[in-house]
Amino acid sequence: MNLPKWFFPGLGVKRWFILMIFAFTLISIGITPLLGFDLGVFVTEYLTFHLNNLIGEGTEIALKSIAVIMVVGGLFTIYYSLIKIRAELNTHITPHSEILDLLYEKRRSNKGPEIVAFGGGTGLANLLRGLKKNSDNLTAVVTVADDGGSSGRLRDEMGILPPGDIRNCLVALADREPLMEKLFQHRFKSNGGLEGHSFGNLYIAAMTEVLGDFEEAVLASSKVLAIRGKVLAATNENIKLGAVYEDQEKRIGESAIPADNKKIERVFLTPENPKTTPEVKAAIAGADVIVIGPGSLYTSILPNLLVEGIADAIRESDALKIYICNVMTQAGETDGYTAADHAKAIIDHCGEGIFDYIILNNQTGTKELRKKYEAEGAYPVKIDRKRLKKLGLKTIEKDLLKKNSYLRHNPDALAELIYKLNAEKK
């Protein structure tokens, strides 16, 4: 702790610290005649001498009365000073919340389980918003195969890893004011060269140039947003995602894969066998819970798991391993897919032992909402229980829908279920 900073002008706490020091001195002196301590003997003898001259035989009672007044007065002064210090901190440092509540939440979250979550896009960010309320020990492992939009442009022009999915996770884990989150998510709408770019993407790109390293840039951005946990790229290599369709045609590029609405047989990474980082391996090895999804099956989830070293590390882990199946199918990617189709695609690409549980939403939302999604080619994922059982998976079905204008997971309900499963495992 940098003690001198507590005495900077404007904090409004110096006077109360000084008053507390005076109160402790008062208590120390007052407690001497009550308990016979040596501290303050000179003051005690001085008071005794003068009281003898004034009241004679009642000196001892008067002395103890004064001592009690000093101790009680000191305790009251300390209490009053603490109240004032808390009020100043609430006013100047945490104007929108009670500092004691923040300290309690921080202490509780620090005791949370180690959770490693794999994915990308909005699905992973949505999950992290729920998980961060009860743990700071979160690691988001994010795909870096994105090649579209602002991320794709920065990737092509600057030769950096695509920052978009990483930015989404940083914002989801942020512990700063909402304005900072809005700033990082702000997308420029002008017709100039910045059109379509996200401020957060540009910030990470700028930090990469300043620091000379993408990992360092993400770490620096994490500090700016005071995130709960950490965000790691699945690999630091410049990879691209490719797909082989059912008709054996190949397509390279994450953003181009769903464009033709053709059935995907498998996906792959190029160049082949990109390696994960020691940080990702260490996070998996220390995890209590490993979560895969939710997110786009072929373009967000599998690009993480196909990175060399990740699937094997998950298989070797003793952690609770969960796959969160998507609420809706995705046009051009998982058309007509059931829950078992989603699970089997992961097993076919990575082998068995990647997850033990599959979490399934068993509600379909309102008819009006479903119609909106159907217009875009998205339908509720059907639960085919017999096929899931044949795959050897434990299924957990629950109403996990967020009650708003989107058919997506409720992050709080999802997080509550994950923490409950972890507690039961322990």
Query: Tens of pLDDT along 69-109?
Result: 777 877 888 788 778 777 766 665 544 445 555 554 555 45
- At residue 5, the pLDDT reads 53
- At residue 1, the pLDDT reads 47
- At residue 38, the pLDDT reads 45
> E strands, 161-263, where?
230-233, 240-245, 250-252
Structure tokens at 374: 């159907």
Domain 106-143+234-425 class in CATH: alpha beta
Structure tokens at 319: 């952690």
Chain segment 129-158, per-residue pLDDT in tens: 999 989 989 999 999 998 888 888 888 888
Residues in the chain: 426
DSSP character for 120? -
Burial code (b: 16+ CB inside 10 Å, e: under 16) for 153-177 equals bbbeeeebbbbbbbbbbbbbbbbee
Q: Identity (one letter) of the amino acid at 347?
A: I
Structure tokens at 81: 């000073």
User: Across-strand partners of 139?
Assistant: 116, 230
Greatest mean pLDDT among 28-32, 164-168, 184-188, 413-417: 413-417
| HSE-up (13 A, CA, CB side) for residue 291 | 32
CA dist., res. 337 & res. 344, Å (int): 10
Name which of 30-34, 131-135, 187-191, 343-347 the model is least confident about.
30-34
Q: Is the pLDDT reported for residue 272 higher than 80?
A: yes
Name which of 12-21, 171-180, 237-246, 348-357 the model is least confident about.
12-21
Residue 414's CB: how many other CB atoms inside 10 A? Answer: 23
> E strands, 111-249, where?
115-119, 138-142, 230-233, 240-245
Q: What is the DSSP string of 35-94?
A: HT-STTHHHHHHHHHHHHHHHGGGHHHHHHHHHHHHHHHHHHHHHHHHHHHHHHHHHHT-
| HSE-up (13 A, CA, CB side) for residue 240 | 16
Chain segment 197-208, per-residue pLDDT in tens: 889 999 999 999
Burial class (CB in 10 A: 0-12, 13-18, 19+), 5: exposed
Residue 151's CB: how many other CB atoms inside 10 A? Answer: 26
Query: C-alpha angle with apex 224: 221 to 226, nearest 5 degrees?
Result: 105
- Give the residue carrying structure tokens 């999804």: 293
Residue 169 host element (H or E): helix 164-172
Q: Using only C-alpha atoms, what is the Rg of the chain?
A: 30
Structure tokens at 350: 């990575």
- Provide the residue ranges of all domains of the chain, joining segments of one domain with +: 3-93, 106-143+234-425
- Sheet order of strands, 250-252 included: 250-252, 240-245, 264-270
Q: What is the DSSP string of 299-315?
A: IIIHHHHTSBTHHHHHH
Instruction: Determine contact, residues 355/321, Cβ cutoff 8 Å.
Output: yes
DSSP strand pairing (264-270 vs 357-361): unpaired
Q: Could you tell me which of 125, 255, 95 has the C-alpha nearest to residue 185?
A: 125
CA dist., res. 243 & res. 265, Å (int): 8
Chain segment 368-392, per-residue pLDDT in tens: 999 999 999 999 999 999 999 999 9
Residue 179's CB: how many other CB atoms inside 10 A? Answer: 8
Structure tokens at 8: 């900077």
Chain segment 318-367, per-residue pLDDT in tens: 999 999 999 999 999 999 999 999 999 999 999 999 999 999 999 998 99
